[in-house]
């Protein structure tokens, strides 16, 4: 069953007129980092509150909040490997969900390809997709173009963020900063200053390994020694 062209309210792709009531609405929330999730009212709670309020505003049309939470805290929108998202898609495939409600499109995915794959599944199962803060309608060419533009910006933002992180790590390494993980043999971590410092005992071993390799030209010979 395809999503019809009727649209009411912000960002709602409506099911066809034959949709039976009640309409079971699943709220999906996501936050890329775990920072702040320990708070009593965090980003996931704020997203859910806005989505649930919108569902209540549609009560006259039979909208009901589906049981269970679909919350992915600490998961990137650039991957499909998210526990709550997997449960949501499984429930969509099983016909347990009629409408998916998100705060913003990029909460569902920041990958253009992954997003449109999900939209295809939604359309196959007759499932509506709602963003409570954005206006879009994928049932006509202009609506699909607008949705594509929104998702392109989400993907662009993700790629720019990745570039900034890589640049920051590279700059830190150039200045001798420790960027996390176990230190290389021959170094210890000076955690207060976030720097690598030479471990003289291990460094002597490393120097001997390189010296013997230069002399023998054989990794196997060095290992045997």
Predicted local confidence at residue 39, as pLDDT: 75
Claim to verify: residue 32 and residue 106 sit in the same structural domain = yes
Which residue has tokens 């499984």? 90
Domain of 210, in residue numbers: 187-224
Predicted local confidence at residue 37, as pLDDT: 67
Predicted local confidence at residue 164, as pLDDT: 83
Q: Render pLDDT for 130-170 as a digit per residue (tens, 0 to 9).
A: 888 876 645 456 656 776 776 677 677 778 877 888 888 77
Q: Both tokens of residue 149?
A: 């533009």
Indicate the pTM of the whole model.
0.56
In a domain, 53, yes or no: yes
Predicted local confidence at residue 127, as pLDDT: 87
Beta bridge partners of 100: 26, 129
Three-state SS string over 196-223 comes to EEECHHHHHHHHHHHHHHHHHCCHHHHH
Separation CA 84–CA 40 (nearest Å): 20
* CB-CB contact of 64 with 24 (8 Å): yes
Q: Of 110, 130, 153, which residue constitutes the final position of a domain?
A: 153
Higher per-residue confidence, 137 vs 100: 100
Q: pLDDT averaged over the chain?
A: 80
Q: Of 128, 153, 178, which residue constitutes the final position of a domain?
A: 153
Q: Both tokens of residue 204?
A: 């002597």
Claim to verify: residue 209 and residue 102 sit in the same structural domain = no
Q: Both tokens of residue 166?
A: 């890589």
Claim to verify: residue 139 and residue 30 sit in the same structural domain = yes
Separation CA 104–CA 44 (nearest Å): 12
Count Cα neighbours of 37 within 13 Å in the Cβ-side half-sphere: 13
Claim to verify: residue 46 and residue 124 sit in the same structural domain = yes
Which residue has tokens 């079971």? 24
Claim to verify: residue 194 and residue 145 sit in the same structural domain = no
Claim to verify: residue 149 and residue 194 sit in the same structural domain = no
Predicted local confidence at residue 1, as pLDDT: 45
Higher per-residue confidence, 204 vs 167: 204
The whole-angstrom distance between residue 90's C-alpha and the CA centroid of its chain comes to: 18
- Inter-axis angle of helices 112-124 and 83-93, nearest 10: 30
Lowest mean pLDDT among 4-8, 73-77, 139-143, 181-185: 4-8
Claim to verify: residue 118 and residue 212 sit in the same structural domain = no
The whole-angstrom distance between residue 40's C-alpha and the CA centroid of its chain comes to: 22
| Mean pLDDT comparison of 21-30, 110-119, 178-187, highest-scoring range | 21-30
Claim to verify: residue 27 and residue 90 sit in the same structural domain = yes
How many domains in the chain? 2
Band the pLDDT of 4: cuts 50, 70, 90: very low
Other beta carbons within 10 Å of 135: 13
In a domain, 17, yes or no: no
In a domain, 128, yes or no: yes
Claim to verify: residue 35 and residue 143 sit in the same structural domain = yes
* CB-CB contact of 149 with 120 (8 Å): no
Predicted local confidence at residue 14, as pLDDT: 55
The whole-angstrom distance between residue 161's C-alpha and the CA centroid of its chain comes to: 13
In a domain, 11, yes or no: no
In a domain, 168, yes or no: no
CATH number at residue 118: 3.40.50.1390
Predicted local confidence at residue 26, as pLDDT: 96
**What would the mean pLDDT of 98-118 be, rounded to a whole number?**
86
In a domain, 48, yes or no: yes
Claim to verify: residue 141 and residue 36 sit in the same structural domain = yes
Q: Of 100, 132, 153, which residue constitutes the final position of a domain?
A: 153
Claim to verify: residue 132 and residue 210 sit in the same structural domain = no
Claim to verify: residue 192 and residue 134 sit in the same structural domain = no
Q: Please determine, for residue 7, whether its predicted confidence score (pLDDT) is greater than 60.
A: no
In a domain, 43, yes or no: yes
Q: Render pLDDT for 159-202 as a digit per residue (tens, 0 to 9).
A: 887 788 888 877 877 777 777 778 778 888 887 877 888 888 88
Beta bridge partners of 31: 73
Predicted local confidence at residue 149, as pLDDT: 78
In a domain, 30, yes or no: yes
């Amino acid at each position: 069953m395809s999503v019809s062209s009727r649209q009411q309210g912000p960002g709602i792709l409506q099911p066809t007129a034959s949709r039976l009531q009640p309409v079971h609405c699943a709220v999906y929330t996501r936050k890329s980092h775990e920072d702040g999730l320990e708070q009593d009212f965090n980003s996931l709670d704020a997203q859910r509150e806005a989505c649930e309020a919108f569902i209540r505003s549609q009560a006259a049309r039979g909208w009901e909040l589906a049981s269970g939470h679909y919350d992915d805290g600490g998961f990137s929108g650039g991957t499909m490997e998210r526990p709550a998202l997997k449960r949501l898609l499984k429930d969509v495939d099983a016909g347990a969900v009629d409408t998916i409600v998100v705060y913003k499109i990029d909460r569902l995915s920041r990958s253009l390809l992954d997003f449109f794959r999900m939209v295809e599944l939604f359309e196959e199962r007759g499932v509506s997709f709602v963003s409570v803060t954005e206006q879009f309608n994928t049932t006509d060419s202009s609506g699909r173009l607008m949705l594509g533009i929104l998702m392109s910006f989400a993907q662009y933002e993700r790629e720019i963020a990745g570039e900034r992180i890589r640049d920051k790590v590279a700059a830190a390494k150039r200045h001798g900063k420790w960027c996390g993980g176990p230190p290389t043999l021959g170094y210890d971590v000076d955690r207060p200053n976030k720097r690598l410092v030479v471990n003289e005992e291990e460094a002597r071993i490393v120097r001997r390994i390189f010296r013997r390799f230069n002399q023998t030209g054989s990794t196997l010979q060095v290992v045997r020694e």
